[in-house]
Structure formats: structure tokens, C-alpha cells
């Protein structure tokens, strides 16, 4: 009589199993985990989204999440860094190619608006942070991300108004204006659509708003920043 045997058990220890997964493609593993985490954090909020959900959606074991990021908090912080790093790098590089203040501000608006348009999870994460005392953002050194953008705007202002003193607050106001007019459109899209009976999710309306704020910001800020406001 032949004894029945069950499925063979893996002889890999937990550490060996993790090592085997890491060898496959570390960069892709990190990217897919971060991608899944960003989507689930945006959908459920960092408190409600679980490591199990993130690992399952990414297609990896939960061990891999802890291997790369240490904890759910560490993973959330890395998501914040990655998203802020992407948007500020693109904005700084694009605006850095411009010369005049008008063109610098125009490029900042376009790049940020298009980023929000294509990355709704970033808008959702910002909404969550603002409604929870930015408790995740304060754990990350965001200054290192915004500094390249500040430097580009500061240099443009100095070229435009070489004899006028411009402080850091004026530079911050200029950038905040660009960010606010872009961000508010997407963060309040549903309520504004209901209020004005306009489908603001429609790409045609989004393009019209983008052209509107480009004109508004370029004409408005250019006449203010050099006057010691």
C-alpha cells in the first residue's frame, strides 16, 4: 500500500524566500509596490489601507513590503517623497529652460496642472493630508523638493527686476499662487461642478481653465513681485 503524501513543503526560510523574490527585479518590485500603495492610500487613506491589500495588488508577498520599506509608515513616506520628487523635478526642469519671469511662471502652471490631471491619486493624498493635520507630510523633508523650484523662480525675478529686493516670501507667494489655482480645480472639482452645473471633469473645460489661469497668473504676478509686495 502506497502512503499518500501531501504537497511538498518549501525548504526556504522566510529570509531565503525574501531573498529569492528580491533577486527577480528589485527596481520593478519597488516600483510596483509604490504604485499600488499610492493608489490604495489615495482610495482608502493611509490609515485604512493595509499592507496585505498593497502586497496583493502589487503581486508580491507582504514580506517584500517590509523588506523594502520597513513598515506601512515607511512606505507611505516613500510614496510622498516619490510623488513630490516627480512633480517638482519636472516643474523645475521645464521652468529652468525659460528665461523671462512670464515664461517661467507659465511653464510652472502648465507642468503642475498636467501632472494633477494625469495623477488624481496625488490630489486625493493631498486632500487626506490637509484634513488630517498634514501628519504624514510633516514627517518628510519637503523643503529639499521645493527648493529647486524656488531657485528657478527667484532667479527669474532677479533677472526681471535686478534693482528690487525680493524676499523668500514673495517667491513662495508666486509659487503658491500657481499651485493653488491648479490644485483647487481638481480638489474641488465635484463640488464646483454641482454648484455651476458644469462638468469640470471634461477635458475641454480643464483646458479652458488652464488657459484662464495662465493668463491670470502671468499678468497678475508679473506686476506684483517686483514691487516689494
Neighbours of 215 (CB within 10 A): 12
Spell out the domains of the chain, with CATH numbers in brackets. 23-70 (1.10.10.60), 77-227 (1.10.357)
Q: What is the model's pLDDT at position 164?
A: 79
For a pLDDT cut of 70, what percent of the chain falls above it?
Answer: 86
Q: Closest by alpha carbon to 86, among 65, 110, 116, 127?
A: 116
21 falls in which pLDDT band (50, 70, 90)?
low
Q: What is the model's pLDDT at position 175?
A: 92
Q: What is the model's pLDDT at position 146?
A: 92
Q: What is the model's pLDDT at position 158?
A: 87
Q: What is the model's pLDDT at position 166?
A: 79
Q: What is the model's pLDDT at position 6?
A: 43
- Average pLDDT, integer, range 130-145: 91
Q: What is the model's pLDDT at position 10?
A: 40
The C-alpha torsion from 16 through 19 and 23 to 27, rounded to 10°, is 160
Q: Cα 199 from chain centroid?
A: 24
Q: Could you tell me which residues come within 8 angstroms of residue 66 by beta carbon, excluding any fewer than 6 positions away?
A: 51
> Is 29 a residue whose pLDDT tops 80?
yes
Q: What is the model's pLDDT at position 221?
A: 67
The 3-state DSSP class for residue 200 equals coil
> Is 1 a residue whose pLDDT tops 70?
no
pTM strictly above 0.75 = yes
Q: What is the model's pLDDT at position 16?
A: 46
What tens digit of pLDDT does each residue of 143-165 get? 888 999 999 999 988 888 888 77
Q: What is the mean pLDDT of the chain?
A: 86
What's the chain's Rg over C-alpha atoms? Answer: 23
What tens digit of pLDDT does each residue of 79-129 get? 999 999 988 888 888 888 887 888 999 999 999 999 999 999 999 999 999
Amino acid at each position: 500500500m502506497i502512503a499518500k503524501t501531501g504537497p511538498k513543503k518549501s525548504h526556504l526560510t522566510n529570509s531565503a524566500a525574501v531573498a529569492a523574490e528580491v533577486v527577480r527585479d528589485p527596481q520593478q518590485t519597488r516600483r510596483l509596490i509604490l504604485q499600488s500603495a499610492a493608489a490604495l492610500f489615495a482610495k482608502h487613506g493611509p490609515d485604512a489601507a493595509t499592507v496585505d491589500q498593497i502586497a496583493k495588488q502589487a503581486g508580491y508577498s507582504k514580506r517584500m513590503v517590509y523588506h523594502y520599506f520597513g513598515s506601512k509608515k515607511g512606505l507611505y513616506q516613500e510614496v510622498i517623497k516619490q510623488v513630490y520628487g516627480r512633480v517638482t523635478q519636472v516643474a523645475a526642469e521645464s521652468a529652468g529652460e525659460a528665461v523671462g519671469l512670464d515664461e517661467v511662471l507659465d511653464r510652472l502652471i502648465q507642468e503642475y496642472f498636467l501632472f494633477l490631471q494625469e495623477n488624481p491619486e496625488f490630489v486625493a493624498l493631498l486632500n487626506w493630508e490637509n484634513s488630517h493635520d498634514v501628519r504624514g507630510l510633516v514627517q518628510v523633508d519637503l523643503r529639499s523638493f521645493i527648493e529647486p523650484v524656488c531657485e528657478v523662480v527667484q532667479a527669474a525675478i532677479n533677472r526681471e527686476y535686478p534693482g528690487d529686493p525680493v524676499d523668500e516670501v514673495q517667491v513662495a507667494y508666486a509659487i503658491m499662487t500657481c499651485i493653488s489655482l491648479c490644485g483647487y480645480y481638481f480638489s474641488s472639482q465635484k463640488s464646483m461642478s454641482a454648484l455651476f452645473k458644469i462638468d469640470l471633469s471634461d477635458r475641454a473645460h480643464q483646458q479652458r481653465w488652464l488657459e484662464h489661469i495662465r493668463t491670470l497668473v502671468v499678468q497678475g504676478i508679473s506686476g506684483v513681485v517686483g514691487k516689494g509686495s
